[in-house]
Structure 1
Amino acid sequence: MSDRPRIGLSTSSVYPETTPQAFSWAAALGYEAIEVMVGVDAVSQRVDEVAALSERHGVPVIAVHAPCLLFTQNVWGLEPWRKLELSAQMASALGAEVVVVHPPFRWQREYARDFVNGIAALEESSGIAFAVENMYPWRASKRQIEMYQPGWDPSEEPYANTTIDLSHAAIARSDPIAMAERLGPRLRHIHLTDGTDSAKDEHLVPGRGDIGAAAFLQHLAATGFAGEVVLEINTRRCADQDERERDLREALEFARTHLAPAEVRGTD
Structure 2
Amino acid sequence: MNLIALSTASVYPESTAHAFGYAAQTGYDAVEVMVGIDALSQQTAAIKQLVDHHEMPVCAIHAPCLLWTQRVWGTEPWGKLERSAELAADVGAEVVVVHPPFRWQKDYAAGFVDGIAALEASTGVAFAVENMYPWRASSRRGMEMYLPGWDPSEQPYANTTIDLSHAAIAGSDVIEMAERMGDRLRHIHLTDGSGSAKDEHLVPGRGVMKAAAFLSHLAEREFGGHIVLEINTRKCTSRAERVNDLIESLDFARQHFAIRTP
| TM-score for both structures, normalised by structure 1 | 0.96
In structure 2, what is the equivalent of residue 174 of structure 1? 172
Q: Which runs of 4+ in 1 moved over 3 A?
A: none
Q: Aligned partners of 1:89 and 1:261: how far apart in 2? A: 33
Q: Cα offset for 1:140? A: 2.8
The aligned counterpart of 2:181 is: 183
Partner of 1:239: 237
Distance 1:61 1:92 in 2: 10
Which digits, 9 at most, give the CA deviation of each residue in 1:29-83, with x for residues without a partner?
A: 1100000000011100001000110111011000000000000001000000000
2:224 corresponds in structure 1 to 226
Q: Does 1:116 align with 2:116?
A: no
Please say if 1:99 is aligned against 2:87: no
For residue 262 of structure 1, report the CA deviation from its aligned partner.
5.1
Report the counterpart of residue 266 of structure 1 in structure 2.
none
- Determine the structure 2 residue equivalent to 1:29: 26
Aligned residue number for residue 122 of structure 2: 125
The residue aligned with 2:208 is 210
CA distance in 2, matches of 1:14, 1:257: 22
- The residue aligned with 2:14 is 17
Name whichever of 125-134 and 141-150 sits farther off: 141-150
Shift of 1:174: 0.3
Counterparts of 1:113 and 1:152, CA distance in 2:
14
The corresponding residue for 1:140 is 137
Alignment partner of 2:191 out of 190, 193, 204: 193
| Alignment pair present for 1:61 and 2:58 | yes
Shift of 1:261: 3.8
* Structure 2 residue aligned with 1:70: 67
Cα deviation, 1:129-181, whole Å, max 9, x if unaligned, reads 00000000011342310000000000000000000000001100000000000
Contact 2:7 2:228 in 1 (8 A): yes
TM-score in terms of structure 2 length = 0.98
Distance 2:36 2:108 in 1: 20
What is the CA deviation profile of residues 210-253 of structure 1, one whole-angstrom value per residue up to 9, with x for unaligned ones? 11100000001111000010000000111111111110010000
How many residues are paired up?
261
Deviation per residue, 1:113-139 (Å, 9 max, x gap) = 100000000000000000000000011
| RMSD (Å) for aligned C-alpha atoms | 1.2
* 1:162 pairs with 2:160: yes
Cα distance in 1, alignment partners of residues 88 and 260 from structure 2: 34
Q: Which consecutive residues of structure 1, in runs of 5 or more, have no partner in the other structure?
A: 264-268
8 A Cα contact 2:222 2:259, kept in partner = no
Q: 1:16 Cα deviation (Å)?
A: 0.5
Shift of residue 260 of structure 1? 1.9
Give the letter aligned to residue 180 of structure 2.
R
Look up the SS of the partner of 2:198 in the other structure.
coil
d(CA) in 2 for partners of 1:188, 1:114: 22
